[in-house]
Structure 1
Amino acid sequence: MTESKIKMQLLEDGHVTSPKGFSAGGVHCGLRKSKLDFGWIHSENPASAAGVYTLNAFQAAPLKVTKNSIQKDNLIQTVVVNSANANSCTGEQGYSDALMMQKMAAEKMEVSIDHVAVASTGLIGVPLPMENIKKGIHLMNHNSAAEDFEHAILTTDTVTKHIAVQLEIDHQTITIGGAAKGSGMIHPNMATMLSFITTDAAVDPDSLQLALREVTNKSFNMITVDGDCSTNDMVLVLANGQQKNTLLNESHPDWTAFKAALQFVSEELAKMIARDGEGATKLVEVHVKGAPSETAAGYVAKAVISSNLVKTAVYGADPNWGRIVCAVGYSEQPLDPEKVCVSLGDIDVVKDGLPLDFDEAEGKAYLENKTVKLQIDLQNGTNEATAWGCDLTYDYVKINASYRT
């Protein structure tokens, strides 16, 4: 374990099942040729639940079912997820299939039907093969391992994404774990990504929902791979209270520490998604400071991280700072071009809106790193924000030119 500045410990091999009372698993049910394609998370007791969802107008059927269930009593006990098929743009049949998926999982796990969340990811516009889903649900608990769940939810991802941390609350060791998937169709305001976060802390559901929204705005909504916002994205947080701490809410003395740990988990999962962008070779971080508001800083950071010209320059290790200032300029945020400063890591390339004499070979060498940090100072306030993305490569086109065929 390592300790962070918020008195939090990072578990070396943390998973979504690291918190007390959670199990997970994954099986192959035939949605994909041979890879695991159906997974689940289960809590020993109903857990306080919070969710945030894609802003795409075409919200997929599973997302609607999950949202409706959480709204009833803010409790979820079982989550079932399939990959390979998004069950999106599938009309009334798709919604009925999502409800059936929920019903069958509730019967299998012997929980209330309203306490089952469903999620799907994969190809849009294709009916969900329910015989395969039935097979997956029948096999639940036959292959219970967090690693299997993490593999089962992947699509074009190249690696699984998981993390867990611990912190002390009310003299109890509280654990927060998480797993996510996402590689393409990733853009701020959610994307084709799913994230599931668990904790054994007792948390007031309304407070949990507020915390998740705040945390998401600084993590999952600050990443981009390709500028596309999908139909199925959601982040769910489940808090089962098994450590029996005093109920956490905004007035609890440890609320700030809990929210900081939730922020850390979400931010790390978000960066894992950005790093694993389709065809990507580098993680790109854009940090903006000196902004008149945090919102303005966020918009500038998103403009730069979303720029295809910036992304391709990073891929080619081309220290073309002009593309960065161009993106800053079209962010439509209040700024004085004659004050803007830009750095590639520690290499200053623009000061007060004018180019600096720097060693281009040194700039190129820096951009060849696996993690690239672009720093922008607007010198127009005290607020800051960070966004994450990846480079744009030839392989991204190859992957998506034949995604369906």
Structure 2
Amino acid sequence: MNQSQTTSRLRYSVFYFLVYGFMAYIIVFFPLHCMRLGFGNLQTALILSAGTLMTTLGSPAMLRAAHYHVSARSLLIWSSFFSLFAFAALNLCSSFWSISSLWCLCLFAHRGSAALIDAQAIRDGHKHKQDSSKQSSFEASRLWGSLGFVVFAFLVGLLADIGGQKFTFFAGLSMLLGLASWSLVASKSLRPHPASFDFETSSSESFFSKSTYRRRFSILLLISFLVWASHAPMYVYFSIYLSALGWTNSQTSLAWNIGVISEIAVFLLFARIQARYTLEGILKLSAALTALRWLTLYFFHNFYVILFSQVFHAFSFGTSYLSSVKLVFEILPDDKRDRGQGMLIMIGIGLGSLVGRLIFGFIAEGISLASDMNELFIGAALCSALAYFLAELFARKPTP
């Protein structure tokens, strides 16, 4: 690895550490913040769903703006600071509409600025990788994102138990301040209008014009949609559910961190796993173990069983995410891979999460006690089971 690649990896590593540190606030602590403000189950789900929608729209909007209208460097700086100021204003509000509006603005700018780096990091990692049995630069950099989540969730959970829930807000603010500062330094290395932001291809064909990859890519998108939809009860109500069971902030952070530590292990070992098994097989196993994870949470309330179930995050997110991203590169021709990655994020993480949160939010409105939120996981298991059957269909490669 030359000096340029080392510098690039370090830059991306710091970026992912801060981005996923803030993600810990979004997933672990923001639902608890909504609960403290007195919002109901449906209101909390609606706020998080609106945030997911803005996250989904933020990525393509910023990428398109960077390609056609504004320098990516300027856009990165302005969007990073905008998300910081929108988040800071949250501390001054308590009404449903003001919290919803500011949360949407914050996540739109935050996800949009992150997308400017994501596209370049994935392509650079794919370009620099020479040995399929070794970890790519993207996987190594993304690993620091998982570490950022673990460090943030652990320290903030511990300090919140000591100093109160208000501390979590200022911890989230510090992550966004770090990202804004990072953008001032790292934006100099960002290409003004990178080729990886190519929304138009050299071919006049539509994106789905080739039947050779249209069917498989469509199934992959549907699998991603279902898997992410199944995560909705986890990302919206898991922290609230554990709090209702009497768990402290530190214990809740521990549960989330076990999942992320398992994810880190997968990121470290994935190159070896991929060398032994097909990506299609890994995708099938991921969907099956995701269903098992949700069934475990549905049937068991025991402290240690719930902690153990978090190990399955290595598969429900780790191997599922990595295999899907790599399958896009395997299925699609080169001039459609970047848009394919964008569609995978939009349909899976975006639309799947949004629809899942809305559906499970309406279901949760009929659950009177937060300690009964585990009932939502039976629906999540059904979504994952359907994803498994589609993964089985996906694994049947078309004959030439």
Q: What TM-score do you get using the length of structure 1 for normalisation?
A: 0.24
**Quick one: higher RCO (CA 8 Å, sep 6+), 1 or 2?**
2
Q: What TM-score do you get using the length of structure 2 for normalisation?
A: 0.24
More strand by share: 1
Q: Could you say which structure has the larger radius of gyration?
A: 1
More helix by share: 2
